[in-house]
Structure 1
Amino acid sequence: MQGFFQEYLSVYRPLISKLNELLGKFELSYSLWQVIWYVKKNGQSSLVDISNYYNVEKPTITRAVKRLEEKLILKVIPGKDKREKVVQLTELGEDLYQTIRQKITELEYSVMSGIPKEEQNAAFQVLPKFRKNILKEGRKDE
């Protein structure tokens, strides 16, 4: 299916812009939201786990976590050893997650309007498979 990636990217950029606009009202960005979302989904999380999931360098996650700590959204808790940094959502972080999740759900419904449920479900099922294949492909080169 030639041109698929171009079509995907033509959707990705405007979506990230919309998300940043929405998150800006909470003084957050999409990159900060990704950390909040990961910790909400996985509970107490190490910075290494978060950076591995998003396939980004640990210093990138460290900076995001520091900003979220300053905003009292995340707190650092003791890890297995002193070198491991583990974070969890604060009560404020939990409340903020729920508020933003509701706004993002509204955006999702808006973006999906007019698209039949079968097509929505197909997209929802295939996107994680793309991610898995992309990550698998990246490991072959190492």
Structure 2
Amino acid sequence: MEGIFQRYLSLYRALITKLNELMSPYELSYSLWQVIFYIKNNGPSTLVDIANHYNVEKPTITRRVQRLEDLQLVKQIPGMDRREKVIQLTELGEEIYQTCRKKITDLENRVMEGIANEDQMITFQTLPKIQENIMEGEGSKSE
């Protein structure tokens, strides 16, 4: 289906802009939110765990975590290895998560207005399949 990437990318950019606007009162961006979201859903985590999940370099996550520490939304806790940084949400981080999660859910509901539930479910199920195909394609060479 020619043009699907362009449609997706224009949707993605608009969505990230909306999310950044929504979180700006909390001095957050979507990239910082990703770290908070991961920790909230997976519990205390290492920088490597977070970096691997989002397929980004560890220094990128280190900078994000440092910013979240500055905002007092996350803190380091002792890990199994002294060299390993384990990060968890602070009480303020939990509060900000709940507030932003509600706003994001409201946004999700607004942008899906007028779209049949069946179509929403198809989209919800199709996007991970597209991601999987992209990730599998990175390992294979075209002939």
TM range (shorter): over 0.9
1:9 match = 9
Question: Any idea what the Cα deviations from partners look like across 1:95-136, whole Å, max 9, x if unmatched?
Answer: 110000000011111110100000111111111122222222
The alignment yields a C-alpha RMSD, in angstroms, of 1.1
Question: Any idea what the Cα deviations from partners look like across 1:8-47, whole Å, max 9, x if unmatched?
Answer: 0110001000000001011111100010001111111110
Q: Which amino acid aligns with 1:113?
A: E
For 1:21-100, what aligned pairs fall within 5 Å after superposition? 21-100=21-100
2:103 match = 103
Stretches of structure 1 that go unaligned for 5 or more consecutive residues are none
| 1:127 and 2:127 aligned | yes
Equivalent residue of 1:25, what SS? helix
Q: Which amino acid aligns with 1:59?
A: P
Q: Which amino acid aligns with 1:5?
A: F
Q: Distance in 2 between matches of 1:56 and 1:93?
A: 22
Per-residue deviation, 1:80: 1.6
Q: Which amino acid aligns with 1:7?
A: R
Between 86-95 and 130-139, report the one with greater CA deviation.
130-139
Per-residue deviation, 1:86: 0.9
Q: Distance in 1 between matches of 2:51 and 2:30?
A: 15
Q: Which amino acid aligns with 1:58?
A: K
Q: Distance in 2 between matches of 1:97 and 1:131?
A: 26
Equivalent residue of 1:75, what SS? strand
TM score, norm. by length of structure 2: 0.94
1:140–1:48: structure 2 CA closer, same or farther, 3 Å change rule? farther
Aligned-pair identity in percent equals 62
Stretches of structure 2 that go unaligned for 5 or more consecutive residues are none
Q: Which amino acid aligns with 2:119?
A: E
